[in-house]
Every structure is written in structure tokens, then in C-alpha cells.
Amino acid sequence: MSIKAYSAEFLGTFWLVFGGCGSAVLAAGIPDLGIGFVGVSLAFGLTVVTMAYAVGHISGGHFNPAVTLGLWAGGKFAAGQIIPYWIAQLAGAFIAAGLLYVIASSVPDFSVTGGFASNGYGEHSPMGYSMMSGLLIEVLLTFFFLFIILGVTDEKAPAGFAPLAIGLALVLIHLISIPVTNTSVNPARSTGPALFVGGWALEQLWLFWIAPLLGALVAGFSYRWFKS
């Protein structure tokens, strides 16, 4: 892989975090005009669609450590490139969250104690869902996300539609799970905001690594079995 592929992963993950989390932090709660969780769901999906079409041909358009691991498990990615891709993705997520923090903090009453679009469970779940509920839904939804990705990028799938299908899948995932965990299915997306919130967000971050990676692994090996 070249530096161009890593840069594409950086940019794609940056756009996902800045666009998705930015919509939640900056636009979701405006009285009367706020986009709400439906709008946030669409924003996350649109970030993936747009950047997958823009740079997917350069890096594969992962923008997510779980996607990278799942593609490896599915036989579509080299093991030696997992860590470099993760580093690029985490860097993009961190820079995006940092710039979002700078922009959002210019409002007098802004505080990261409101969550800053972080993922959480228990008292930090939007609707108070338990750790077990959060773990289960993150594993399940990441499984289906990776299974869809592997299917629509298969050589036998219709050409040109993969980014659209993947983006729509991410919209649906957010529509289902924002009330439960604020939706992760992406360890980089969870890590960026958590680094600025600190405290509880970092303490609960383990779940938003373990669950997506587990779901991705199961999806990758399952899809490989279907193809065998």
C-alpha cells in the first residue's frame, strides 16, 4: 500500500467523524430546526457514500478499523496492512474531533459533559440501555454492516452501487441504534470524541472496540464460508 492509500483512509475517516458527529453536535438539537436523530443517521450515511465514491478506488474506502479487520477475515485484505490502516483511521478521527471541538466550543454554553456525540451505555446511553444491550446491538449491527460490505463489493455484485448500498446500510444502523449507544460500529468514530470527553467516555470505550471488531470478524469468516 502507498502513502496515498493511508491518506485516503485518513480523509475518509475524518469526513465520517466530522460530518456524522458534527451533525449531532452542531445541528441535531437546534430548537424547531434541528435535524434530530434521523438527520444524524442520514449524515453518517452520506459521509460514507461521498467519500467511498471519492477515494474508495484509492484505499478501498474502509474508514473504520472494524471494516479493515472484517475485510481481512473475509479474505479481501492483507494482514500486514491492518495496523497502518488503523493508524490512519484513528488519526483522521482524532483530528476531526479536535476541529469539531474548536468550532463547537465557541458557543458560550458548550460543554463536553453533554457527551460530544460519544458512545455510551448505562447512564450514558441516550435511553439508558444496559451494557449487555449495547454490547449485543453493536456486535449484531457490525456483523450485518460487514456482511453487506462484503456482499456488495463481491466481483459478482452489480458494479458501481457498492458505496450507495454501504451508506444506506449505515443510515439504517443509526436509525436502529442511536437510542441504545449513540451508534458506533466503528472504533475510530468512538475514539475521536471520547478523547475529548475523557472520564466516562474513555472508561466505556472498550465496548466500542471489542463489539465492532468481534462482529466484523464473525461476518468476515461467515462470508468466506458462504463463498467457499
Rounded alpha-carbon distances, angstroms, from residue 86 to 1, 80, 122, 155, 165: 13, 11, 28, 25, 23
Q: Give the CATH number, domain containing residue 148.
A: 1.20.1080.10
Task: State the Cα–Cα distance between residues 141 and 144, nearest whole angstrom.
Answer: 5
Confidence bin at 30 (pLDDT 50/70/90): confident
E strand spans, the chain: none
Confidence bin at 109 (pLDDT 50/70/90): confident
The DSSP H or E segment spanning 218 is helix 207-227
Amino acid 148: pLDDT: 97
- Mean per-residue pLDDT for 199-216? 98
Task: State the Cα–Cα distance between residues 15 and 51, nearest whole angstrom.
Answer: 8
Amino acid 160: pLDDT: 86
Domain hosting 175: range is 3-227
In this prediction, what percent of the chain has a pLDDT beyond 90? Answer: 88
Task: State the Cα–Cα distance between residues 51 and 53, nearest whole angstrom.
Answer: 5
How many domains does the structure of the chain reveal?
A: 1
**Residue 32 above 80 pLDDT?**
no
Amino acid 156: pLDDT: 86
Grid cell, residue 8, equals 485516503
How many residues are there in the chain?
A: 228
- The pTM score is 0.96
Cβ pair 190, 69 in contact under 8 A: no
